[in-house]
A and B are shown apart, each in its own frame.
Chain A
Amino acid sequence: MGNSYIAVRALLSELGVEPIVPPMVSQRTIALGTKLAPEFSCFPLKVNMGNFQEAISMGAEAILMAGGVGPCRFGYYGELQREALKEAGYEIDFLMLEAPKTHPRELWDRIKKIFPRHQPKDIIRAISLAWLKAKALDTFDKRANEIRAVEKVPGATDRLQQKYYQMIDQTDLAGEIKKYQQNALKELNAFPIKTDFEPLRIMMVGEIYMVLENQVNFQLERTLGRMGVVVTRTAYLTDWIYYELLMSIFKPDWRRGLINIAKPYLKSGFVGGHGLETVAHTVEAGINRYHGVIQLAPFTCMPEIIAMQVLPAVVKDLEIPVLSIIIDEHSGEAGILTRLEAFIDLLNYRHQKQVGGEKNETISWG
């Protein structure tokens, strides 16, 4: 899921197992996954199935998978994937991170069996290192999305980002991570930037996997950045961990803010998955005078469909243009790009009309 592999790799290495990171999602991954996954299952499941098969062919012996209790389908991914892989003839251990049906203790036993280093202090160290890495990556990405739109040297931000990812991935020392982060941010902020135009600001909302995984959303952030658009992503790995995992335990009511902001449009509140977040963030974008919103959803995703049905009302009330993009294994890059360019053209036109300024010629399609 995006760059989260870096944090997870750190976590697992610290626990004493050798993590196998499957290659970046490619057409091959998607083809492999689609072969085993049910036809109408959502796209993340299919991609995951492909990832697993590639990891197994690289020698993976166990799969670590999170669970849940619905109503989003993600909670049942693990069960289905285990069955499907078994049927396809793969011999693989599944470690499900969730409360087992029989007894909570059983989860601990399973963890002990797989991880050689399972003392509390090992686990704390592993988690804190992984957290530090994830935080370092997300902090950089947030800033990179702003700089990319106005950089004078095309591609400079992306090159720095690649280098930075590698450096963070290779180090295991907390001090180095902090140092790299400071240096990279300093370098990023020193990039020469264009000051002669005001870039469009777009908020990227939708299902978390689609938003985070660059390989399946056709590098949306990068593409938009090159078109001179500042992208605000609403989902980050660290935010997700902070809210969904930690806050759910210590402050179960953390969603209240989102529910309130979405209330005029979505009275039901939580509708599973990221449906509520999508609506709430779109309202937020409208109030904060963003120029547009792009919603990403996998085909057949139930919560996002609800959001999609609700969004036209938000669009009307707050006058914020929204582009919904549905992605599955049949999506083509050219199609997505065409729609993006048309959308950005429209936003530019609208923006200029509002500002009333001269026509802006500096924006070039990368």
Chain B
Amino acid sequence: MKIGIPQALLYYWYGKYWENFWQTCGCETSTSPTTEHKIIAKGIAVALDELCLPVKIFLGHVAWLGSQVDWIMIPQLIKVEAGAYICPKFMALPDLVRHTLPELTEKLLVVKVGPTKIDMHISLAKAAVKLGLNPKKNHLAAREVKAAFSVSKNQIKIGLLGHPYCLYDPYFNLDLLKHLENNEINYLTPEMMPSENYGNGTRQLNKDLFWTLGRAQFDALEWMLNEQEVIGFIHVTPFACGPEAIVGDLLKRRIRMAGKPYLELNYEEHSGEAGLITRLEAFIDLVKYKNRAC
């Protein structure tokens, strides 16, 4: 049995775990390639205009897998931690796929996490039992931290804030990370934060945030401000992202309070690379200048 896993959305957190799970069940897995033009074009063609780019990309990946596998895993992540949702669009992901790609309805393998039982392994196991498989215990940590970081001393560091699928999908963010590396800038992402810092940032808010990805960014921001010598921040968001409209505003206020430069990058399917490079270079110049002046 061949199970397809779309390399989009929270694949960047849980992907390795998912692949490992299905492989231990004796299935063959097939992960869609990193996002490319064909995939985005397909997603845009089938989706409603109002949807955000990451969801369109996800739909493109699902369509790509369509003809090649027996089952396509659709993670319906309602909650992955207590007291916080991810986004309404994640809650309705199977519905969005069914209505945009009706020809694949038979192939969808929905893995529902939450809202009451929050355990990735149990949810996966339930889906496996439905297929008649015998799920095995998996010893990997569920949330795989994507990038270990090494920072050389004399380079300047910039903090990147944003959802994992915005930061790690090079086609989405027009190779932002590569551009930073070319400019000899070190960057930190929320995923690089050591796990003992979970909850540090959100605790300082008056009211608990109820979006997991927003919480992760706040924790990361606090860690970057206090423990790392970060001299500027870039916030990477999809155009018209709901939670980021609120979270971004709170982040911006916190960063302004700390007196750090801040650049907000909005992405949608019409983003042009030249515009990005111009803004990025201007920002890097500013950060470097500010750093020397101090």
The answer to the question of B84 belonging to the interface, with a C-beta cut-off of 8 Å to chain A, is yes
Q: Distance (Å) between the CB of B93 and the closest chain A CB?
A: 8
The answer to the question of B131 belonging to the interface, with a C-beta cut-off of 8 Å to chain A, is no
Asked if residues A80 and B51 are in contact (CB atoms below 8 Å), the reply is no
User: Interface size of A by Cβ–Cβ distance < 8 Å?
Assistant: 45
Asked if residues B253 and A83 are in contact (CB atoms below 8 Å), the reply is yes
Q: Mark A144-168, 1 if CB is under 8 A from B, else 0.
A: 0000000000000000000000000
Asked if residues B210 and A38 are in contact (CB atoms below 8 Å), the reply is no
Residues of A within 8 A of B242 (CB): 40, 42, 73, 300-302
- Tell me the residues in window 207-221 of chain B with beta carbons closer than 8 Å to chain A beta carbons: 207-211
Question: In the complex, what distance in Å separates the CA atom of A175 from the CA atom of B187?
Answer: 69
Q: Which of the four size classes fits the interface of chain B?
A: 35 or more
Q: Distance (Å) between the CB of B237 and the closest chain A CB?
A: 8
Asked if residues B48 and A271 are in contact (CB atoms below 8 Å), the reply is no
- Of the residues A70, A80, A300, A310, contact of B84 by C-beta under 8 Å: A70
**Of A10-18, A184-192, A260-268, A356-364, which binds chain B?**
A260-268
- Of the residues B47, B88, B93, B239, contact of A302 by C-beta under 8 Å: B88
Asked if residues A80 and B85 are in contact (CB atoms below 8 Å), the reply is no
Name the CB-closest residue of A to B240.
Answer: A300
The answer to the question of A95 belonging to the interface, with a C-beta cut-off of 8 Å to chain B, is no
Asked if residues B209 and A76 are in contact (CB atoms below 8 Å), the reply is yes
- Of the residues B92, B205, B208, B249, contact of A268 by C-beta under 8 Å: B92
Asked if residues A71 and B246 are in contact (CB atoms below 8 Å), the reply is no
Asked if residues A312 and B88 are in contact (CB atoms below 8 Å), the reply is no
Asked if residues B50 and A305 are in contact (CB atoms below 8 Å), the reply is yes
Q: Mark A293-307, 1 if CB is under 8 A from B, else 0.
A: 000000111110110
Query: Known: A40-B240, A87-B253, A309-B96. Contact between A275 and B245, CB under 8 A?
Result: no
Residues of B within 8 A of A101 (CB): 206-208
Residues of B within 8 A of A268 (CB): 76, 91-95
Residues of A within 8 A of B249 (CB): 38, 41, 80, 83-84
The answer to the question of A123 belonging to the interface, with a C-beta cut-off of 8 Å to chain B, is no
Residues of A within 8 A of B199 (CB): none
Question: In the complex, what distance in Å separates the CA atom of A271 from the CA atom of B94?
Answer: 12
Asked if residues A71 and B211 are in contact (CB atoms below 8 Å), the reply is yes
Asked if residues A71 and B207 are in contact (CB atoms below 8 Å), the reply is no
Residues of B within 8 A of A87 (CB): 253
Asked if residues A76 and B87 are in contact (CB atoms below 8 Å), the reply is no
Q: Distance (Å) between the CB of A330 and the closest chain B CB?
A: 13
Asked if residues B211 and A326 are in contact (CB atoms below 8 Å), the reply is no
Q: Mark A309-329, 1 if CB is under 8 A from B, else 0.
A: 110110000000000001000
Residues of B within 8 A of A73 (CB): 242-243, 245-246
Residues of A within 8 A of B88 (CB): 71-72, 271-273, 275, 302-303, 306
Q: Distance (Å) between the CB of A155 and the closest chain B CB?
A: 36
Question: In the complex, what distance in Å separates the CA atom of A300 from the CA atom of B242?
Answer: 6
Asked if residues B76 and A300 are in contact (CB atoms below 8 Å), the reply is no
Q: Mark A38-71, 1 if CB is under 8 A from B, else 0.
A: 1111100000000000000000000000010111
6 contacts between A and B (CB under 8 A): A73-B245, A83-B253, A271-B88, A271-B92, A301-B242, A305-B48
Chain A interface (Cβ < 8 Å from any Cβ of B): 38-42, 67, 69-73, 75-76, 78-80, 82-84, 87, 96, 98, 101, 265-268, 270-273, 275, 299-303, 305-306, 308-310, 312-313, 326
Chain B interface (Cβ < 8 Å from any Cβ of A): 47-48, 50-51, 76, 83-89, 91-96, 98-100, 205-211, 239-246, 248-250, 253
- Which 4 A/B pairs are nearest by Cβ-Cβ distance? A70-B210, A71-B85, A40-B245, A272-B88
